[in-house]
Copies of this chain bind each other. A is one copy, B any other.
C-alpha cells in the first residue's frame, strides 16, 4: 500500500545538519525561499548566537521550528558523568524554550564500559529526572531509537518496541518517540510498533532519508530518499495511518552531499521529497 504523493511542501522540514555547510542564517533563507515550511535546529548551529533572536529570525522567515536536536546521552558507568548529562539536558530544554522549539529529540546514549541493560536503566532514570523541567518549559521529549550499529556508544535503545516500552513506563504527556526510517527500516515489527506508538499518542516526530547500498561509512553515508533500499513511502503510509500530521523531517549526514553545492542539494531534497517519499 502506497502513501499519497506529496504534492506540496507544507509538511517538509529539513534538519540544519542536512545542509551542514550552511550557517543557520543561510539555511533559513534558502529553505524559506524554496517553500520549505519547517526546520529542525541542531544545537551546534546555535553556537555563538542569541538563541531567542535566532528563533525570532526563523519565524520571521515563515519557518516552523519543529524540534531541537539533540538531548540524551544519559548513560555512563561514572555517576559524575551521568550528572553532567542531566545538566546538559536541562540546558537543552532551556535552549529549546528560548528558541521556541516545542520538542527535543533524544539520542539516548550508551556506555560500552557497562551492559546495555545498565545503560537502558540509566536512560529511563535520566529522562524521568528531566521530565519535570521539560514539562515546566512546555517542551516535549522524543526518544529516538537508533540503529543497532550504534548500540556501542550512541544508543542502547535500538528498536521502536524498546522506545515504545520506555515511553509507556515513563507515562508522561511530554515524553514520546521519534521514528527515523534509517534506524528502523529493517525491523520486522516496524509496522505494528508504529501503530502502537500512534495508539499511545507517542508518535512525536518522523525522520526520513535512505540507506545506501553499499553504505561506505557507519555515520556519514546516508542517502537521499530514493537513493537506497528503504521503503520510505510505505513507512510514511504506516505513520499517516496513525493520524500523524506533523512534519516529515529530512535528516541526512553525508560527506557526499555536504561536498556538493548546497543550493543544488536543496533542489535534490525537494525533488526526492515529492517523488521518492
Contact = CB atoms under 8 A, between A and B. Distances in A.
Contacts of A229: 112, 152
How extensive is the interface on chain A, given as a class? 20 to 34
Contacts of A214: 152-153, 218
Interface in A245-262: none
A229 B150 CA distance: 12
A145 to B, nearest CB: 11
A270 to B, nearest CB: 24
Contacts of A185: 151
A148 interface: yes
A237 interface: no
A16 to B, nearest CB: 24
Contacts of A115: 231
Nearest to A153: B213
Closest 3 CB pairs of A and B: A112-B229, A151-B186, A148-B186
